[in-house]
Amino acid sequence: MKFGLIFTLQDPPHGKHLSRLYDEVFAQAALAEEAGFELFLVPEHHQMPDGYMPAPLTFAAALAAHTKRAQIGTGILQLPLYHPLHIAEQIAVIDTIAKGRFILGAGLGLVEHEFNAFEIPLSAAAARFTESVEILRRAWSGQTFSHHGQHFNFDDVTITPRPLRQPPIWIGAMSTITLTRAGRIGDGWLSDPLHNFDVMRAWSEMYRAAAQQAKNPQVEIALLRNAWVGDSRTEIERTWWPHVKDYHLFYLRLGFFASGRFNAKWEPWVREVTSDAEWTCERVAPNRLIYGTPEQVVAELKRYERATGCRYMILMLRCPSGPSHAETMRCIERLGTDVLPHFA
């Protein structure tokens, strides 16, 4: 199993220190690469007060310049918000900078005010996404091609430069429909960090079945989990859990858990949460967060690996409110020395 990091790139409440945060992330990526991490992902949202990364491809290019071996990608790029030819060109340049290390993690997005700001109908998201994936693959082939679809129409286009390799497309999916789409047209499935262990296991099976039915040989599972390693779970719950809780409450206030996009089949209590106080470590952490001593973290990671067959485990260490950069660097070092060698 390979390990990666996803960087949240938010500076609550008002994004006043983003320049410093970006430098800290570059330092974390450099240290993590030396520690054995093999993939770094950048997320995307728009018009958020804390500066949530609105330009993931720009930041991915900077990460590529600050690293040498690790793969660089998005997790996720909201593909329906863009013209696919523009994305094809940008990624081709990034992949050239990275010398063939880029992975496109893409999804629908579906935050209504973000679609409204870019004058993209939310109802068109799924169709634009599927059409864009088709266009990206043809654009990166290096051949001149034309396309006449529901949302995009053009003739005799050749994208240059050509990427050093055909960048894999991992699709973010959190439902039967989107998992089926990932299995049909994607090169991999990228999970979310919010659903629990049982959901990850069930969705892994669903994704593999969809790929098999579509006769798609490109099957890759990359699980995303909040994680931390330390001397004891008690200490970690005191110092790290409050930041994870704040991160989860961001999605609670965004309406994610009540919107129907969160699959509450396994956890119906989530839809009934009405106050921050109800989001407790005792309720949330089991089968969702990976933390503890190195031995406890290794055991939990192996449990996920056995249950899902994932080849990539993407860890979110630092949440928007913390822990600090120094604490995060120490956690990366400890993961590199005490956890990752068990999966070599």
For position 252, what pLDDT does the model report? 83
For position 324, what pLDDT does the model report? 98
Q: Which residues partner with 288 through β-bridges?
A: none
For position 287, what pLDDT does the model report? 96
For position 266, what pLDDT does the model report? 84
> 202 burial class (0-12, 13-18, 19+ CB within 10 angstroms)?
middle
Residues 328 and 317 sit within 8 Å (Cβ to Cβ): yes
Residue 262: Cβ within 10 Å count:
21
Q: 3-state DSSP call for residue 30?
A: helix
Q: Residue 126 is inside which H or E element, if any?
A: helix 125-139
- Tell me how far CA of residue 114 lies from CA of 10, 43, 72, 82, 316, in angstroms: 17, 14, 25, 12, 24
For position 317, what pLDDT does the model report? 98
49 CB contacts (<8 Å, ≥6 apart)? 12, 13, 14, 15
Tell me the domain boundaries of the chain: 2-343
Mind listing the pLDDT tens digit of every residue in the chain (344 residues)?
999 999 999 999 999 999 999 999 999 999 999 999 999 999 999 999 999 999 999 999 999 999 999 999 999 999 999 999 999 999 999 999 999 999 999 999 988 999 999 999 999 999 999 999 999 999 999 999 999 999 999 999 999 999 999 999 999 999 999 999 999 999 999 999 999 999 999 999 999 999 999 999 999 999 999 999 999 999 999 999 999 999 999 888 877 777 777 888 888 888 888 889 999 999 999 999 999 999 999 999 999 999 999 999 999 999 999 999 999 999 999 999 999 999 98
For position 262, what pLDDT does the model report? 82
SS (H, E, C) 275-324: CHHHCCHHHHCCCCCEEECHHHHHHHHHHHHHHHCCCEEEEECCECCECC
Task: Identify the architecture of domain 2-343 in CATH.
Answer: Alpha-Beta Barrel (3.20)
> 162 burial class (0-12, 13-18, 19+ CB within 10 angstroms)?
middle
